[in-house]
């Protein structure tokens, strides 16, 4: 089945979207300041920003990795018109 690899990439995107959205809304957004902690309001905002960028980066890195692997495997045998 020639679409199997693309179905796999789709499934990976599906699982990552669900997992990362859950992490975002349940862990990153509710992060509150901890009493007597050295992390102040600005530090907390920066920490949240870093975590959000991290979540997005994970999605990007996994998707780029999977796609590059797919393209590398296929491009050598890419069809060309016979002329």
Interface with other proteins by CB under 8 A: which residues? 2-3, 5-7, 9-11, 13-14, 17-18, 21-22, 25-26, 29-30, 60, 63-64, 67, 70-71, 74-75, 78-83
Residue with smaller CB distance to other proteins, 8 or 38: 8
Q: In the structure encoding, which two tokens stand for residue 51, read together?
A: 């975590």
Residue with smaller CB distance to other proteins, 32 or 38: 32
Residue with smaller CB distance to other proteins, 36 or 80: 80
Q: Least distance (Å) from other proteins to the CB of residue 77?
A: 8
Q: Least distance (Å) from other proteins to the CB of residue 64?
A: 7
3 state SS for the chain: CCCHHHHHHHHHHHHHHHHHHHHHHHHHCCCCCCCCCCCCHHHHHHHHHHHHHHHHHHHHHHHHHHHHHHHHHHHCCCCCCCC
């Amino acid at each position: 089945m020639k679409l199997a690899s693309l179905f796999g990439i789709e499934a990976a995107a599906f699982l990552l979207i669900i997992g990362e959205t859950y992490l975002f809304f349940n862990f990153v957004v509710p992060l509150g300041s901890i009493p007597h902690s050295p992390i102040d309001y600005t530090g907390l905002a920066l920490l949240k920003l870093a975590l959000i960028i991290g979540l997005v980066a994970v999605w990007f890195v996994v998707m780029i990795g999977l796609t590059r692997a797919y393209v590398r495997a296929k491009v050598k045998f890419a069809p060309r018109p016979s002329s």
